[in-house]
Amino acid sequence: PEAEPLPPPVQLGEVSEEELRQYDGSDPKKPLLMAIKGQIYDVTQSRMFYGPGGPYALFAGKDASRALAKMSFEPQDLTGDISGLGPFELDALQDWEYKFMGKYVKVGTVKKTVPVEDGAPSTSPETTETTAAAEPEKAPATEEKPREVSSEEVKEKEDAVAAAAPDEGAKES
């Protein structure tokens, strides 16, 4: 009876970090979700890894970008904030992202927590205030800069590797 087939992935659209936490595996009737760089993936098929009691259970229901980039299980790294990461950490994160894109279905995105303008009801005031109070300066920078910075830094690293390539060719002779 427990080996029921997995239900098809549910498309969530854009959800807040608070809403994403509901998909941490504590409710067996809900899918198991995890985000990387703001993109939410259904990892239900890997419940033994990301579900309760699994080695990566603490990543479920969260954007674990920083933790994956740093290969960290520290609570302070369980965030989508990738600012300040070095090129090797960003490369590691990119590898994880490719792995997830190839293996799991993307089911939504994490809503950016930016201050609400003119009291627009796009997010609940509670969620916005709570997130803004917890990380007053990080929230906006987290969502806008890293995506551009990470691709630029990856490009710079690729260029540096390409520039170093002739040296390796000289070693062969």
pLDDT band at 70 (very low <50, low <70, confident <90, very high): very high
pLDDT of 168? 44
Read off the tokens for 7: 């239900």
In the structure, what pLDDT confidence band is assigned to residue 2 with cuts at 50, 70 and 90? low
Is the per-residue pLDDT at 119 higher than 70?
Answer: no
Q: Give the whole-angstrom CA distance, residue 90 versus residue 98.
A: 12
pLDDT tens digits, one per residue of 129-143: 444 444 444 444 444
CATH topology of domain 13-110: Flavocytochrome B2; Chain A, domain 1 (3.10.120)
What pLDDT shows up at residue 103? 96
**pLDDT average, residue stretch 11-21:** 89
pLDDT classification of 3: cutoffs 50, 70, 90: low
Task: Flag whether pLDDT at 155 surpasses 90.
Answer: no
Token pair belonging to 54: 């699994």
Whether 56 and 73 have beta carbons less than 8 Å apart is answered as: no
- What mean pLDDT do residues 87-93 have? 97
Per-residue confidence at 149, pLDDT binned at 50, 70, 90? very low
How far apart are the two ends of the chain, measured CA to CA in Å?
A: 64
By mean pLDDT, which of 19-23, 61-65, 145-149 is the weakest?
145-149
Is residue 52 scored above 50 in pLDDT? yes
User: Does 121 score more than 90 pLDDT?
Assistant: no
Q: Do 68 and 62 contact (CB within 8 A), yes or no?
A: no
**What is the C-alpha radius of gyration for the chain, rounded to an integer number of angstroms?**
19
Neighbour tally for 63: CB within 10 Å: 25
